[in-house]
Structure 1
Amino acid sequence: MLSSAEPPPGASPANAEILVDGKPLGATAEGFRIPASHKSVSFRLGRSPEDETEGSRRVQFKLEGVDNGWRQLRSEMSLMVRFGDAAGDQVAQRIFVVEGISQGWRGSVESSAFTERRETVRVPPDSTFLTVAISSSGPPTAMGIYLVRGVKIFRNSPSGPELLFAAATDREGTDTNGWRRSGTRPSMAKMVHTSAGEAFCILDDDPNAHAEWNLPRAAAPKVQPGESLTVEWSEMYDIGTGSRFEVNYGRLNAGHYRFLTDVLDNHRQPAGRRAAARLRGPGALVEASSFLDQRVRRHRDSSLAGRPGDHPETHPATSRECRAGTLDRAGTPAHRARSAR
């Protein structure tokens, strides 16, 4: 387990455990050693939501010698178009997922740009109306920020698109079309002022809860089964996971590596809880250590200067990420849980 020698008050480093072929790597008198016969090396990071007491636990990580930069386990939120029948029952929905970090995201709402999006939907049988929801539901541990503005719905007809619905936000945090907050923590649904205007915002900082902006039935536009609709909106987002997960690097070649973790706050900024471990390839020593700031890091690095084999070697390795127990070699989750929490 990676740990910090003297964590600052109220903080602790991101929990990380080294696993070899799925089993925790035990320490010897000299430190940790990766067996030459190993098939994979992985790291188990973070805590389960039930064990978390310090708020946001989004964790970024990198294995120096393999990764070119910091990585995160991505998660997702969504904009949903829901269809209902004359009795008010939902008969279908289309879920438009956003995952990871949007193209225009630059670290803060103020410095980021919206990305335009357009989707086409077909009205299903028995539908008489549609509603829209902006939600952080899906994977229960999704955390981060999702902003949406300029939602418009057009009916596609031979004569051209006809505007069916347009969301118009105001500065008081409500919407002229009657949008409402909901979810297990509705307070995470906010209105945010951006350079482009007011925007619906989900600022999810709770791995055990979700929030939504909902267009209620009273304000829902009428539709006819079989109609073709176009949904347009602009969005920006930065979304990660706030729970325990594993990242698998496959078999490591002989060489020197250092695995770093860094806990992030909900604005993706380092929260001052960083940990590190030094690893050497199959059959060699794995030196576990940690640091709190650059002074400790410089001291440690200077003390290692001049030792043979202490410099990372870049080498090919298989990189896989795991979410909800499923590994995916491309770094993208192999399945997406889209059910509401």
Structure 2
Amino acid sequence: MTQSTVAFHRHLGLLDDSSSGHKKSIKLAPPLDWKSFMITSKIQVDDLESLMVKMLRKVDVTPANARDIAWVFKTMTLRGVGHHDIGSFPGIIRNLRDGVFNPRPKIKTVVSKQATAVMDADNAPGTLAAFRMTEKAILKARKYGIGIVTMRNSNHFLGSAAYNLLAAEQDMIGITMSNTLASMAAHGSKDKAIGNNPWGFAAKTGAEFPIMLDIANAYASFGKLFDYMNNNWDIPREWGLDELGENTSDPSRVLRGGVSLPMAGHKGFGLAIMVELLTSILAGGAITENVRMNSLEGNGHSQASIVININHFLPVATFEDRTKEMVELLHNHEPLDSEKPVLLPGERSYTSRKKLADEGIVLNQKTVDELTQLLDELNIRT
């Protein structure tokens, strides 16, 4: 057991704050059993959330904003996919500490007209900007039946799932998307032309789990490519090109001088353009190759939230009955493999959320080491 694992697993408190628009409170967990904790590097969800809030407060994030950023990271981590989750949190802390992100952004509404709005993130962390954007879209949908809100001058939002679940909890359908820095080739090209521009949707159903999709328009996101590289796994050759413009099975060649390819060729490319239209074009933000990662110059990511109020179409109970019927119809189809039943988007994530919420989250050693180093640098002690 490394010293960093021991140091990381210290009991941390939570600053109390009730000013956030997000209604869910974070309860302080009982003292941890450090012996079992250090053996497995496992942390309970509430303790992880408390830790993130504590670290965010140390880099000058307000209590309300810290709580909402931590909620996004917790929600994304509970999907259990191994990327776009807590592993990205140390980078957020470093960027806030070093002034790359604005720890005290003045997120403002630039234009507001009935069901629509344009917002400016003021170089906020993308997780905070997208959370505030979704909140506004929900409010507009509650009043007008639909809310469409765009955000410019933001940063990486992690993924769409958390924000769409936020809308789904309000008996609405959430659709969230973001442009990103250019990392994907145009169909028929071998140069970086456009971001993989992730998007997704979520809605509650009458079944046990919500329907939820969270994807990028490339065959694989950067996070997934890094995951494959770190595990020394080959990738399918159609996922990307190397620095010579040749298909490769080596994810490191794609990441170091190569380029990702759009999923299903022209279809993925077309969807990336759709996201670009609904985010940067409507928001007045940086477009395609002009987007910069962690930029201080107003050319960061743009996002969009579309929230649909189910009650403006039919009663929520009727919607749930109809979606339950849809789920049952789809589940009833014979699988190719009898041991692998037909699963709907969001079903695996729901199972993971329940399991991790009950059993705790196992952190990989890299994440433990990074968090431990930051705890020392930020002088966080119990």
Q: Larger Rg: 1 or 2?
A: 1
Higher relative contact order (CA 8 A, sep 6+): 1
* TM beyond 0.5: no
Higher normalized strand content (fraction of residues)? 1
TM-score (norm 1): 0.23
Higher normalized helix content (fraction of residues)? 2
